[in-house]
Chains A and B, each alone.
Chain A
Amino acid sequence: MNDFQNSIPSAACLVVKLLVSPHGICPGILFSMIMSFSSISTVSYIDELGHHDDNARLAPTMENTYQMGPYKRFPANAATDILKDVLTSYLQEEKYEVEWSQKMTKTLCEVIRARVKELMIPRYKIVILVHIGQLTGQCMQISSRCLWDTSNDTFASHFFKNSSLFGVASVYAVYFE
């Protein structure tokens, strides 16, 4: 089981343990739903058990690299250009539709990830977040905060809007020491 997910509430963890055996029944999206008087919440995790078992057994011991920091920093400007380019080319002429938007958010995530990987910045882990929404005059606020090493880690984001929809894409790059 993924280390991080073990720290999630124990009730939810029990659900996870019951449903999934060490040999993996159906890795995928597991969720628990809690309903209180006036609000509903859903928590979901992505679990990929197969990979974890293999890695645990075969993890090689790495030699010390004596590398103090990244040789090449992640270029936030280049990332912003990529986001601008991808959002504009994929969303410019489109109209908001439920099915299409669902697929498009995932597609955009994959495309942006591939483009950022092409930058070939070694030892950086990448997280990409894409939101696509319908424009109906509603208000929305998106904020994020990160606990990381400000000298090595960075992020880039871009907001796109046309007459019927808006799209927000963010890239976070975290250095792996």
Chain B
Amino acid sequence: MEEFHNGSEVSPDTNSPFSPVTCIENVVGGGDYSQSQVNKWTANIVERCLTQLVKQGKPYKYIVTCAVMQKTGAGLHTANSCYWDTAMDGSCTVRWENRTMYCVVSVFAVATA
């Protein structure tokens, strides 16, 4: 983490680490799946994740994806494949569920310079 102290313009917020699960729970909370709300939910989850990531102040570009699906017993498979520098770039996938829906959030971080 030494790079934090090398004069970056935005001082990074190391006290609150990135937590996708809190983002999801703050938006969806204890609610049930709702067709009218889901658009707003996905947009909010993705936006909160991105804001938290920006606060880290690291020299990365981010791609955040969120998929929300109603629980009907149907199957869903997700896979990703990346062509990047394995030493500097990384990803994180969170799978969250409650009684009525599944939520899968993927975050990809790609280093710049």
Listed in ascending order, the chain A residues whose CB lies under 8 Å from chain B are 2-10, 34, 36, 38-46, 48, 51-52, 55-56, 59, 96, 98, 101-102, 104-106, 108-110, 112-113, 116-117, 125-149, 153, 170, 172, 174, 176-177
Chain B contact surface mostly: mixed
Q: Which residue of B lies closest to A116 (CB)?
A: B83
Determine if B60 and A4 form an interchain contact, defined as CB atoms under 8 angstroms apart.
yes
Instruction: Tell me the bound Cα distance from A149 to B113 in angstroms.
Output: 13
**Which A-B residue pairs are the 8 nearest by beta carbons?**
A109-B81, A4-B90, A105-B79, A144-B65, A55-B87, A143-B42, A138-B72, A136-B74
User: Is B63 touching A174 in the complex (CB atoms < 8 A)?
Assistant: yes
Q: Which of B20, B47, B90 has the most C-beta atoms of chain A within 10 angstroms of its own C-beta?
A: B90
A8 and B92 within 8 A (CB)? yes
CB-based contact A125/B85 at 8 Å: yes
B92 near A51: Cβ-Cβ < 8 Å: no
Can you offer 13 A-B residue contacts whose CB atoms are under 8 A?
A: A3-B111, A5-B90, A34-B21, A43-B20, A104-B77, A109-B80, A128-B82, A133-B76, A138-B69, A147-B62, A148-B61, A148-B63, A177-B113
Chain B residues 12-28 with CB under 8 Å of chain A are: 17-21, 24-25
Look across to chain A and name the residue whose beta carbon is closest to the beta carbon of B69.
Answer: A140
B46 touches A174 (CB 8 A): no
Q: Are A43 and B92 in contact (CB under 8 A)?
A: yes
**In this complex, what residue of B is CB-closest to A39?**
B98
The digit string for B37-72, where 1 denotes a CB below 8 A from any CB of A, is: 011011100110010011010101111111111111
Point out the residues of chain A lying under 8 angstroms from B79, CB to CB: 105-106, 108-109, 129-130
Given contacts A127-B108, A136-B72, A177-B113, 12 further A-B contacts (CB under 8 A): A4-B109, A38-B99, A106-B81, A125-B85, A130-B81, A133-B76, A138-B72, A138-B74, A141-B42, A153-B61, A174-B63, A176-B110
Alpha-carbon distance between A114 and B80 when the two chains are bound, in angstroms:
13
Asked if residues A142 and B76 are in contact (CB atoms below 8 Å), the reply is no
Contact B63 A127 (CB under 8 A): yes
